[in-house]
A and B are shown apart, each in its own frame.
Chain A
Amino acid sequence: MSTTRSATAVNPWTAHSVEIVDVVPEIVGVATYHLRLTDPEARVSYSCDPGRFNMLYLPGVGEAAISVSGRNSLTDAWLHTVRTAGSVTQTLAGLGKGGGLALRGPFGTAWPMEQALGRDLVFAAGGIGLAPLRPAIEWALANRSSFGRLTLVYGARSPQTILYAAAFDSWRNRGLHVEVTVDRSDPGWLGRVGVVTLLVDRLRPFEPARTTMFCCGPDVMMRYVARSALARGLSPTDLWVSLERNMQCAVGFCGHCQLGPAFICKDGPVFRYDHMAPFLATEDL
């Protein structure tokens, strides 16, 4: 018995060839890869909203799901900040400028920028979790007058692992209040020491009714940030988190990334917190 596939349905295994036009070392073990689609037509049609991700494909090695962390409009490149961890990211690190790979995407949900217009917006990030938030920060700063207060609370393990530290002054000058804390200090550090939830606890001023929060970091960090933010009166419907799980297909076909009813790849990675809170709170789900 025949069935009809949707006329709009796309083949998810289609991949674009991309070239590494720049590699910017960030912190130890982390670099930002500027990737440009090699096909000029695809370059024009490709677009990726803040918070969405690509599958970076190294043929013969495999794929890794990486959030887009920015765009360089001069070189027409999409930025991917990657921590060298498994075989795919190690191979990527060995390629360098001029290297070629492939990319599927963009996939997943984006930060709800439009919904946050006119409100105070707090970005809460832990570690490399700042990467998926950077395009949202840049978007908000490019539309600075459309928002109330803009704040980044950021926690890193140590002063040496603060991601995008060189950009903080520019962000401050453009109207983002930046607060940073580290878990472990070192002799030259004059800033705060402690977990990022302390920054959420101490945010002044903080008007929960007119605040939206975007949060990205390890699961446990997001749980505690959420607890602090909700304790201060933020509505769970105004808190958004970006989650991570094993992903192989990126469109809900392979089953790996499920958390409760959600496929992190297509229902997320950006979720409204109250939709996922019960599942994040369940061990091993």
Chain B
Amino acid sequence: MSEVVDRRFDRPQFLARDRFDDLFVALEARGYHVVGPTVRQGAIVYDRIASTADLPRGWTERQEAGTYRLERRNDDHYFGYTVGPHSWKQFLFPATATVSVATRSASGWSVEANDGRDEPAFAFLGMRACELAAVAVQDRVFLQKDYADPVYAARRERALFIAVNCTQSAPTCFCTSMRTGPHCTAGFDLALTELDAGFIVEVGGDRGADLAASLDLRPATEAELQSAEIERRRAAEGQVRSLPGAEVRDLLMNNLQHPRWNEVAERCLSCANCTMVCPTCFCSSVQEVTDLDAANVERRRSWDSCFNFDFSYMNGGVVRNSIRSRYRQWLTHKLATWHDQFESSGCVGCGRCITWCPVGIDLTAEIAAMQGGPA
């Protein structure tokens, strides 16, 4: 029996703005928990959304080192911003998760590991190219040959990715220098580019094709494709920050005693904000959570940070006892030893750590300073 190949979606399609809500209906019908951008407490965050009414229509943001402010756009675009304090990490690698449950019996303890069977299926709406890259980075961390994290693996396998191409960059963005964006080229089920009248829709796989089949699509016109290309190019050309390529690994590892570490340690508060907003940071700790008669015990994993004082605690002491050593651990891990561990950088160039640092420490400036160039 020959397989029928659906070529309908090989070409980019167009979805009119007034039919965008159909996407939500289609996702709900397939049982997905839809997560997307929405405005909360003065920021665009990712949360459960039910329709286009929840999207940040007409909003954008102004970002700089240590600064984030929402501002009105002069149009009604849904995705006219870049990235906020949230990343999709919190849905694939939740900030707290139960990894096992122990039950006391007459003969001791029996432990049941979470096998991931009850983890939800998410549809992520509005993933940017740097965020697709960040998921690929965490795939290498949590889905290894010998071991796979069951919570991450289950959520990751079930998740549907609807990407959105950036049409602008924040001053904190540097994805072009990390070669992770701004154009979404792979790793999505659907990719959208927002135009005034609607969306260019690209399909990237069977799940995307199934979804596309239930939308009111028509082939995009040449003019629409050209407009989309211009929009995407604007994002790439608007970037003002950058990091050097793979040579940054040796720069850092050859400068573990550089005086700049002391200098940055005087500004760094060791607050861990950068690691919380980072879409690839994966450090965690495990706590015991016990019921009142101590017969049922959950092991609960929570995000941790190499900036927390007791993170390196061992044998009555702390290995990284200074802010200098903790900042050095974070930056050398992110940009240098990550290459040794996972054959990629740990940085995707999203700029969140720059924006959300309360004192505005900018890793691109720190690297420039260490290179001897102007900060």
Contacts and interface: CB of A to CB of B under 8 A. Distances in A.
Contacts of A205: none
Contacts of B320: 284-285
B51 interface: no
A17 interface: yes
A24 interface: no
Interface stretch (B13-21, B285-293, B347-355, B366-374): B285-293
Given A3-B139, A255-B306, A261-B340, A12 B288 contact: no
Contacts of B147: 9-12, 251-253
Given A11-B115, A85-B315, A19 B108 contact: yes
A102 interface: yes
Nearest to B102: A59
A254 to B, nearest CB: 5
B205 to A, nearest CB: 6
A284 B111 contact: no
Given A9-B146, A102-B110, 12 more contacts: A3-B157, A9-B153, A17-B107, A85-B315, A101-B108, A246-B312, A253-B147, A256-B285, A261-B337, A261-B341, A285-B319, A285-B320
Contacts of A57: 102, 109, 111
A143 interface: no
Contacts of B104: 59
A15 B253 CA distance: 37
Q: Chain A: interface secondary structure? A: loop
B319 A248 contact: no
Contact of B312 (A62, A249, A256): A256
13 contacts: A1-B204, A2-B159, A8-B145, A11-B150, A13-B299, A17-B110, A57-B111, A254-B286, A256-B285, A260-B337, A282-B256, A284-B324, A285-B329
Contact of B321 (A12, A248, A255, A284): A284
Interface string A241-285: 000111011011111101011010000000000000000001111
Contacts of B204: 1
B197 interface: no
A72 interface: no
Nearest to A4: B157
Contacts of A9: 143-148, 153
Contacts of B283: 254-256
Interface residues of A, number: 49
Given A5-B148, A10-B146, A60-B294, A245 B113 contact: no
A251 B111 CA distance: 18
Nearest to B314: A246
Nearest to B296: A59
A29 interface: no
Contacts of A62: 286, 288
Contacts of B119: none
A38 interface: yes
A126 to B, nearest CB: 13
Q: How large is the interface on B (under 10, 10 to 19, 20 to 34, 35 or more residues)?
A: 35 or more
A6 interface: yes
Nearest to B110: A17
Contacts of A60: 102, 288, 290, 294, 297
Contacts of A5: 143, 148, 153, 157
Given A2-B157, A3-B157, A246 B311 contact: yes
A238 interface: no
A70 B114 CA distance: 31
B185 to A, nearest CB: 12
B148 A1 contact: no
A165 interface: no
A14 B205 CA distance: 34
Contact of A248 (B205, B286, B328, B333): B286
Interface string B228-254: 000000000000000000000000010
B114 A100 contact: no
A61 B320 CA distance: 25
B96 interface: no
B99 A13 contact: yes
A251 B146 contact: yes
Nearest to A251: B147
B297 A263 contact: no
Interface string B87-115: 00000000000011010100111110111
A168 B353 CA distance: 56
B144 A252 contact: yes
Nearest to A254: B284
Nearest to A256: B311
B107 A253 contact: no
B108 A255 contact: no
B270 interface: no
A18 B333 CA distance: 37
Nearest to A267: B341
B282 interface: yes
Given A1-B161, A100-B107, A258-B333, A245 B319 contact: yes
A4 B148 CA distance: 11
A102 B109 contact: yes
A12 to B, nearest CB: 5
A100 B355 CA distance: 50
A139 B147 CA distance: 28
B337 A8 contact: no
Nearest to A83: B315
